[in-house]
Each structure stands twice: as structure tokens, then as C-alpha cells.
Amino acid sequence: MKFNYVQKSAQAWRISVKNKIFHTQDPCLHTNSRCAKNSSRMEIIMELLEIAKKRHSVRKYTGKEIEQEKLDKILEAAHVAPTAANMQPVRLIVVKSKEGLEKVGKAANIYQAPAAIVVCANKTKAWKRPFDGKITTDIDASILTDHMMLEATELGLGSVWICYFNPDILKEELNLPENLEPVNILALGYSDEPDASAERHKDMRIGMDELVSYL
């Protein structure tokens, strides 16, 4: 009887261990498992790609004012954007007032958008690549702008990245200090245009084989 008890105990122990191994090897059985987390990450990645596909340049706006809560989220997206050596050499000037928009409108066509963000590079905080002296402020400013455009799209807003402007007029109208160089203007607002097809990039962009090389 004692032997049978030991056998049964050993058998129960093996089953217990087997079950533990099974659960360890198949973490998808748990809602908070690594598999679930990976699945969640994949969903986030897919959502970001869909937002990128949905975004397009909007040049006609309804005139409806942007809610401050949405504007704050757009600016937060810029705030968390990476910059070279974390120097953060960018200054954002948010223009919402009629007077301010008229000033910006003297330097560029902002398509009667209800808001515009003038993205400036701070030349005194620029990171310089030591090998060739390349300054990366324009790159940093562009990364922030891209973050803001994607967040605007997610919030149901339209935007257009404007580089066609007279920098001298813009500097004068906004009374910018010498160290701030306007890199681009981001016009924002509720779109008054039809949504662009998410599949349009197949015809509008160069092929992946032309864009990408593997070594």
C-alpha cells in the first residue's frame, strides 16, 4: 500500500510538472501573456500603418476651430519625437488668432486653415556630425512635423506640410530672434476635401524595389 501511495504521488507530481511545462510553453493561454502582448503590439503597428496610409495633404478646410484638447495631443506628439543627441533644437509657434494667421499668410499660402504651426530650428542648439560638420536641425524639425501630422490624422484632422514660403517675411512678421530659423509651416484643420484612398500609394509612389536595397 505504501508503494502504491508513492507511485500515485510520483504520478501526480509528474502530471503537475507536465501541466506547468505545458502552460509555460503555451503562454497564449493566459490573457496577460507574452503572446497577448505581442498580439497587442502587432495591432498597434497595424494601426500606425493605416494612419500613415490615410494621411494626405489637405488644402481646403471647413474653418471649424480645432479643440484645444486635440491641439494639445498634436503638440504632445511633437514633444515625444526623437532628436539628434536629444538636443531638442526645435521651437514650435502655434498660430490661431486672426491677426497671427494673417501675418503667416503674408509669407505663405496656408489655405485658410484655422491653425498653423511654424516649426523653427534653434541654430544655437544644433548637433553637428563631427566627421563632415553636417547640422541636423532640419532633420529634427522634420521628425517633429511628421509626428504632428500623424497625430492630427488619428484625431480626424487634416494637415499640409508647407515649405513654400518666404522666410524673410515670416521672420519679420513673427519677430523671430536670429537663432530661430523657420523650417516649415504645418497648416491644420478639419478637412473639406474627400478622403484620399489608402491604396493610392501603389500608383503614386515608386516601387519598393526602387526604394529599398538589401546588402
pLDDT for 45 equals: 57
**102-154: pLDDT as tens digits:** 999 999 999 999 999 999 999 999 899 999 999 999 999 999 999 999 999 99
Whether the CB-CB separation of 150 and 134 falls below 8 Å is answered with no
Do residues 110 and 175 share a domain?
yes
The burial class, CB within 10 Å (0-12 / 13-18 / 19+), for 98 is exposed
> Based on the structure, what is the number of domains in the chain?
2
In a domain, 208, yes or no: no
In angstroms, the CA 75 to CA 96 distance is: 14
In a domain, 75, yes or no: yes
pLDDT for 37 equals: 59
In angstroms, the CA 18 to CA 76 distance is: 49
The label of the residue with cell 541654430 reads 123
Do residues 139 and 121 share a domain?
yes
In a domain, 179, yes or no: yes
pLDDT for 92 equals: 99
Do residues 148 and 173 share a domain?
yes
DSSP 58: -
Do residues 48 and 80 share a domain?
no
Do residues 106 and 179 share a domain?
yes
Contacts of 144 (CB under 8 A, 6+ apart): 78, 81, 83, 90, 92, 119
Q: Provide the residue range defining the domain that includes 126.
A: 57-189
The label of the residue with cell 509626428 reads 147
Low-confidence ranges of the chain (pLDDT < 70): 1-46
Do residues 147 and 167 share a domain?
yes
Contacts of 168 (CB under 8 A, 6+ apart): none
pLDDT for 198 equals: 85
Do residues 97 and 171 share a domain?
yes
Contacts of 69 (CB under 8 A, 6+ apart): none
Report the predicted TM-score, pTM, of the whole model to 2 decimal places: 0.79
Do residues 84 and 126 share a domain?
yes
pLDDT for 65 equals: 98
CATH of the domain at 185: 3.40.109.10
